[in-house]
Structure 1
Amino acid sequence: MEDSPRSNRPVTTTESSIRILERLQRDPGRTLDELTDELDLARSTIHRHLLTLEDNDLLVREDGRFYLGLRFLDFGISARNRVPFFDVGRRQVDRLAEETGEKVWLVAKEGDFSVHLYKASGESPLRTSARVGQRRYLHQLAAGKAILASLDDDEFQAIVDRQGLLQMTEHTITDVDELREELDAIRERGYAFNTGESIEGLNAVGAPIRDEDGTPIGGISISGPANRVKGDYLKTELPDKLLAAIDEIHINLRYSSTR
């Protein structure tokens, strides 16, 4: 069977389970009645799905409310462990966080999205809504824009056609021509900036991780409050440290592939 990016004959029962799981991820602790009100599915259908998922330890029930089960953690760790740059990337993220004191993220490209794999916070008390396992639109993030800049134009346009350019803040680039211009600049310098485009008052610099063929497979970003992460610190000092870390990751990946 040939790989296909999307099935043209989806299994509706599986899709129903996924909708229930996504709802419980966004709003944990929903009851059967609440899920019935919130989803366009029959109560009996939702009930059967809930029981099946519970029987397989994918959901747990507490006082009539349903939550995702910790079995998903095992799935998630297994998925993360197959990422070829995770171990070496994690070590570089820890080092960057210690050197800069800022929050550093390791991300992977999966399909049209960036997925947060690992973070280290250094001495920064900064707290955001970002979390390990979260999927984000590529154009909203420094590492994501660096990944987009490493794609050919056809693949970039295909992602835009499928996902659009969703606005997160007033600074998010939502015009495709403007984004193309920025991607050209990113290709020239080798790294990308995020100035309040995902979170107001947060600045970041990001660079891509590529495989041996030059295909972007992930990235690293360093972020902090805009009142501190600015000027030469943002434009020069942090990019130099970031690119040095990326170079080490690429060397390790090439070395490991030849052993």
Structure 2
Amino acid sequence: MTDGNAGTVKSVETMFAVVDVLRERDGARVTAIADELDLSKSAVHKHLSTLRNHRFAVKEGDEYRLGLGFFGYGSYVRTRYDVFRKAKPLIRELADETGEMVWLITEENGMGMYLFGDGGSLDVNVDSLVGTWRHLHLNSGGKAILSRLPEERVVEIVERHGLPRRTDATITDLDELLAELETVRERGYALNLAEDMAGIHAVGVPIVHRDRVQGALSIAGAANRLTEDRIHDEYADRLLTAVNDLELNLTYR
């Protein structure tokens, strides 16, 4: 039965809410889920049983956790992106060369998702970030993507998702964001100077194939290593060259 106000299926919305709780809590008991979502325990149990039947949840003692069924679908979706398949070896090369984190991000429905990453020589669990969503204005890859979208599309994304603040350096004004995107278009790369996370700098370059932005590559690291001068003098050119090679590979695959 559909929700007439939102045009969505209420039972499916509830199912996804249960899934979100399981992910955010890294597993939960029926009572905890029911309390958080203001549902009856019997309703939550039915949703969890459905998820278990389709391998999207497992029960460990009294707790339920997300199952590997999601992994199969996620892997399938990711491999459908040509840019993911072509970028993987290049990302690993850049990470080895720079010793810093290198990321591939793409946009869907106005949000950015990390498709792949490599931590270079850093002891960083990149898998914890892969598959997560980010507002596009917060990071260099996201701003690189926004710079290649029509202004009306950028405005639409901001109206839908807002410009939430993560640090004191985060851009939260639309006019300021549009002005920065013009600078990104002129120089070819975007900066993230502690706008998503304090103490982290990054540079990102959009990936464009057949006049459509496919995503962005970015290099990120500690601000004391990735200084603004070093980004401009060294990392930006290396990233621009890498993206140019990637775009050629996408064209002549």
Question: What is the TM-score with the length of structure 2 in the denominator?
Answer: 0.94
1:226 aligns with 2:185: no
Give the secondary-structure state (helix, strand or coil) at the position aligned to 1:85. helix
The answer to whether the 8 A contact 2:119-2:126 is kept is no
Counterpart position of 1:117: 115
1:62 aligns with 2:60: yes
> Residues 203 and 130 (structure 1 numbering): CA distance in 2 closer, same or farther, change over 3 Å?
farther
Match of 2:36 among 38, 47, 52: 38
* Post-superposition offset of 1:127: 6.2
* Post-superposition offset of 1:42: 2.5
Partners of 1:245 and 1:38 in 2: CA distance: 46
Counterpart position of 2:189: 191
Q: Which 5+ residue runs of structure 2 have no aligned equivalent?
A: none
> Residues 8 and 24 (structure 1 numbering): CA distance in 2 closer, same or farther, change over 3 Å?
same
Render the CA deviation track for 1:186-211: whole Å, top value 9, x for unaligned.
00001000000011000000011112
The alignment yields a C-alpha RMSD, in angstroms, of 1.6
What is the number of equivalent residue pairs in this alignment? Answer: 249
Match of 1:104 among 102, 105, 115: 102
Match of 1:142 among 136, 140, 165: 140
The answer to whether the 8 A contact 1:126-1:224 is kept is no
Specify the code of the residue in structure 1 equivalent to 2:240: L
* Post-superposition offset of 1:128: 7.8
Render the CA deviation track for 1:101-144: whole Å, top value 9, x for unaligned.
11101111112111111111221335689511011110001000
Counterpart position of 2:247: 250
Q: Which 5+ residue runs of structure 1 have no aligned equivalent?
A: 1-6
Partners of 2:61 and 2:218 in 1: CA distance: 41
Partners of 2:16 and 2:141 in 1: CA distance: 28
Specify the code of the residue in structure 2 equivalent to 1:238: Y
Render the CA deviation track for 1:21-77: whole Å, top value 9, x for unaligned.
011111122101111110032222111111111111110001110100011111110
Render the CA deviation track for 1:180-239: whole Å, top value 9, x for unaligned.
1111100000100000001100000001111202x2121111011001110432112000
* Moved segments of 4+, more than 3 Å: 125-130
